């Protein structure tokens, strides 16, 4: 059994999904950038193997639109400041907020579901619910009504 198939089986996924895997790699890069105090661009440049196109697009998109994404997240995270959030939760929220704002080709339900799954897998027990709540509110801010379905 290949590693990708074994990982998918453990995570409950039916098979490897290139887009889900890219989101996971983007999350790793964003977390690494935060942990090391580097820019996401520098993290990608420092990897031995170049990131795939979607991972690169996601990471660079979060970096490019970071201030706007953080402002939107902060406005919808009731009772939480960005500095108080677990780094993984914030990274997941930034990644999903970027997709909501800049990738109208990805359905809102997919963005939220993928983000919740990442939060559940890599962060705290309550992270999935927290991420779901913030992103559900953000979808109303970052997507036109016709793009929400």
Domain extent listing, the chain: 23-147
What is d(CA 53, CA 135) in angstroms, rounded to the nearest whole number?
25
pTM (two decimals): 0.86
What value does the mean pLDDT of the chain take?
A: 88
What is d(CA 106, CA 87) in angstroms, rounded to the nearest whole number?
24
What is d(CA 53, CA 61) in angstroms, rounded to the nearest whole number?
12
List CB contacts of 79: < 8 A, sequence separation 6 or more: none
- What is the structure's pLDDT at 14? 53
Query: For tokens 């990897």, what's the residue?
Result: 47
Q: Is the pLDDT of residue 22 over 70?
A: yes
What is d(CA 69, CA 121) in angstroms, rounded to the nearest whole number?
23
Range of lowest pLDDT (15-24, 44-53, 68-77): 15-24
Alpha carbon distances (Å) from 43 to 17, 26, 48, 104: 23, 11, 10, 27
- What is the structure's pLDDT at 148? 52
- What is the structure's pLDDT at 4? 42
Q: How far apart are the first and last CA of the chain?
A: 36
Average pLDDT over residues 14-35: 90
- What is the structure's pLDDT at 78? 87
- Tens of pLDDT, residue by residue over 128-149, are 999 999 999 999 988 866 655 5
- What is the structure's pLDDT at 82? 95
Q: Is the pLDDT of residue 101 over 70?
A: yes
- What is the structure's pLDDT at 143? 83
pLDDT-derived band at 32, boundaries 50, 70, 90: very high
Q: Is the pLDDT of residue 7 over 90?
A: no
C-beta atoms surrounding 69 within 10 Å: 25
- What is the structure's pLDDT at 10? 44
Q: Is the pLDDT of residue 121 over 90?
A: yes
- Least Cα distance to 56 among 88, 26, 98 occurs for 26
Q: Which CATH class is domain 23-147?
A: mainly alpha
């Amino acid at each position: 059994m290949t590693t990708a198939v074994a990982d998918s089986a453990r995570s409950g996924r039916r098979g490897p999904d290139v887009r889900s895997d890219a989101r996971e790699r983007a999350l790793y890069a964003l977390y690494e950038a935060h942990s090391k105090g580097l820019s996401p661009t520098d993290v990608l440049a420092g990897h031995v193997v170049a990131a795939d196109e979607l991972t690169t697009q996601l990471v660079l998109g979060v970096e490019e639109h970071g201030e706007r994404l953080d402002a939107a997240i902060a406005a919808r995270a009731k009772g939480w400041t960005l500095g108080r959030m677990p780094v993984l939760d914030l990274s997941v929220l930034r990644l999903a907020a970027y997709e909501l704002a800049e990738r109208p080709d990805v359905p809102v339900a997919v963005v939220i579901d993928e983000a919740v799954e990442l939060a559940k897998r890599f962060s705290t027990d309550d992270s999935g619910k927290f991420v779901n709540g913030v992103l559900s509110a953000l979808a109303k801010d970052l997507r036109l009504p016709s793009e929400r379905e």
